[in-house]
C-alpha cells in the first residue's frame, strides 16, 4: 500500500472557502494541496454560491491542478433556475447539483431541530436564521408536483445540463425524486449522472435501486469519505454497497473542507487504504477516484 495510490486522483466534492461558513482552506490552498499530493484535480462545491469563476482563478494560478466549478440549486441561486445553470455553463462550470440544504427533507429537519434545540450543523442555523428574520418565507426547492411528476422548471434545468453536456448530481433530494430526475435526464440526453450520497440517511438508495440506475441509465453512485469518518454512515453499509454495485460504477469523493476534519487529500488517502484493507483491489480502488471521475469530467 503506497501513498501513490491517490496519484492522479480527482475529488469531485470538496467544500472550500470563501463560504458562508468557515472552511479549512480556500480554493487556492486546496489547488496547491492537490498538486503537492500528486492528485490531478477537484470540483469546488458551495451550498450557496456558484464556483465557476473561482475555478478559473485557481486554474490560472495552479495550472497543474485541474479545478472545476459548479452550482448547487438551492434558494440562494434561485432554486431550479435554468438561467443560473446556463450562466455557470457559459462561465466554464462543469457540475450541477440538485438542491442540498433547501430540499423538502432539509426544511423539515430544520423545523424539527428548532423544536428540539441542541447542536446543529451550520447550514441548519442559516435556515433557522432566515426563518426567524421573516424576510422571506422559508420554502423548500421542490422537484415533483402533487402528482409525483417533475415540475416544468426541473425539466428546463435538465435540458440546459444536456445542452452543455454538464454533470448532473442528485444532491440531497430523496430517492423517489432522484429516480425521476435520473430517468428523465437520461431520456433527454444527459450523459453524465451521479447519484449523490447514496448511503446517507437523507438520500439512501437500496442496493437494488442503485443497480437499476446503473444498468438502465449509466449513473454513477457516489460515496463520501466524510460520511463514514463522522459516523453518519456505517462503514459496513458503505463497504457492502460499494462491493455490490461494483467499482466500475462508483465514485469516491471526500465532501471535506470542514474546520475540524482532515484536508481532502488526507481523507481520500485514508479511505483508499481502508478500501484496500477490506478486500478491494488497487485497480478497483483507483477506478473510484481516477478512472470514473475522468470519464465524467472529460468524456
62 and 122 belong to one structural domain: no
Judgement on whether residues 174 and 265 belong to the same structural domain of the protein? yes
pLDDT of residue 12: 98
As given in the structure block, the three cell numbers for residue 222 are 457516489
Q: How far apart are CA 233 and CA 118, in angstroms?
A: 21
Q: Identify whether the C-beta of residue 253 lies closer than 8 Å to the C-beta of residue 12.
A: yes
Cell 471521475 found at:
293
Distance, C-alpha 221 to centroid of its chain: 11
**pLDDT recorded at residue 1:** 41
What's the burial of 63, exposed, middle or buried (CB within 10 Å: 0-12/13-18/19+)?
A: exposed
> Cα Rg for the chain, rounded, in angstroms?
18
Task: Please state, in angstroms and rounded to a whole number, the distance separating the CA atoms of residues 49 and 103.
Answer: 16
- Asked which of 124, 139, 154 is the last residue of a domain, the reply is 139
The β-bridge partners of 169 are 97, 194
Same domain, yes or no, for 113 and 176?
no
Tell me how far CA of residue 106 lies from CA of 91, 125, 148, in angstroms: 29, 12, 19
Q: Tell me: do 234 and 91 sit in the same domain.
A: yes
pLDDT at 222: 98
Question: Which residue has cell 478491494?
Answer: 280
Q: Based on the structure, what is the number of domains in the chain?
A: 2
- What separation in angstroms does the CA of 211 have from each of 16, 218, 250? 32, 10, 11
Half-sphere exposure of 282 (CA within 13 A, CB side): 8
Q: What is the pTM of this model?
A: 0.94
Task: Give the domain extent around 57.
Answer: 3-99+143-298
Domain C-terminal end among 112, 139, 166: 139
Who's near 222: CB < 8 A, 6+ residues apart?
12, 13, 169, 194, 195, 196, 197, 198, 250, 251, 252, 253
Q: Do 88 and 231 belong to one domain? A: yes
Q: Which three cell numbers stand for residue 284?
A: 478497483
Which residues have a Cβ under 8 Å from the Cβ of 183 and sit 6 or more positions away? 216, 217
Are 162 and 262 members of one domain? yes
- Residue 111 is predicted with a pLDDT of 55
For residue 107, the model assigns a pLDDT of 75
Q: Are residues 263 and 192 in the same domain?
A: yes
Check whether residue 173 and residue 250 sit in a common domain.
yes
Give yes or no: residues 48 and 110 share one domain.
no
User: Per-residue confidence of the chain (299 residues) as pLDDT tens digits?
Assistant: 446 899 999 999 999 999 998 999 999 999 999 999 999 999 999 999 999 999 999 999 999 999 999 999 999 999 999 999 999 999 999 999 999 999 988 777 655 554 555 556 676 777 777 777 776 777 899 999 999 999 999 999 999 999 999 999 999 999 999 999 999 999 999 999 999 999 998 899 999 999 999 999 999 999 999 999 999 999 999 999 999 999 999 999 999 999 999 999 999 999 999 999 999 999 999 999 999 999 999 98
SS3 228: helix
Amino acid at each position: 500500500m503506497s501513498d501513490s495510490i491517490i496519484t492522479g486522483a480527482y475529488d469531485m466534492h470538496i467544500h472550500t472557502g470563501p463560504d458562508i461558513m468557515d472552511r479549512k482552506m480556500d480554493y487556492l490552498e486546496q489547488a496547491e494541496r492537490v498538486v503537492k499530493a500528486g492528485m490531478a484535480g477537484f470540483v469546488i462545491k458551495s451550498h450557496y454560491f456558484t464556483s465557476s469563476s473561482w475555478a478559473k482563478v485557481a486554474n490560472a494560478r495552479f495550472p497543474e491542478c485541474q479545478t472545476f466549478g459548479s452550482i448547487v440549486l438551492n434558494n440562494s441561486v434561485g432554486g431550479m433556475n435554468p438561467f443560473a445553470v446556463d450562466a455557470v455553463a457559459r462561465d466554464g462550470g462543469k457540475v450541477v447539483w440538485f438542491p442540498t440544504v433547501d430540499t423538502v427533507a432539509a426544511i423539515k429537519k430544520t423545523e424539527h431541530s428548532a423544536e428540539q434545540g441542541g447542536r446543529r450543523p451550520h447550514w441548519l442555523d442559516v435556515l433557522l436564521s432566515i426563518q426567524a428574520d421573516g424576510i422571506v418565507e422559508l420554502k423548500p426547492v421542490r422537484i415533483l408536483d402533487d402528482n409525483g411528476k417533475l415540475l416544468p422548471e426541473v425539466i428546463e434545468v435538465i435540458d440546459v445540463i444536456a445542452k452543455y453536456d454538464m454533470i448532473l448530481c442528485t444532491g440531497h433530494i430523496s430517492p423517489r425524486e432522484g429516480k425521476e430526475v435520473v430517468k428523465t435526464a437520461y431520456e433527454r440526453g444527459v450523459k453524465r449522472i451521479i447519484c449523490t450520497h447514496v448511503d446517507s440517511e437523507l438520500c439512501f438508495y437500496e442496493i437494488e435501486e442503485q443497480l437499476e440506475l446503473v444498468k438502465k441509465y449509466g449513473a454513477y453512485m457516489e460515496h463520501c469519505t466524510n460520511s463514514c469518518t463522522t459516523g453518519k454512515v456505517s462503514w459496513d453499509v458503505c463497504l457492502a454497497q460499494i462491493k455490490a454495485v461494483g467499482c466500475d460504477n462508483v465514485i469516491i469523493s471526500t465532501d471535506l473542507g470542514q474546520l475540524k476534519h482532515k484536508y481532502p487529500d488526507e481523507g481520500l488517502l485514508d479511505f483508499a487504504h481502508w478500501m484496500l484493507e477490506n478486500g478491494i483491489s488497487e485497480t478497483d480502488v483507483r477506478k473510484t477516484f481516477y478512472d470514473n471521475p475522468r470519464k465524467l469530467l472529460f468524456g
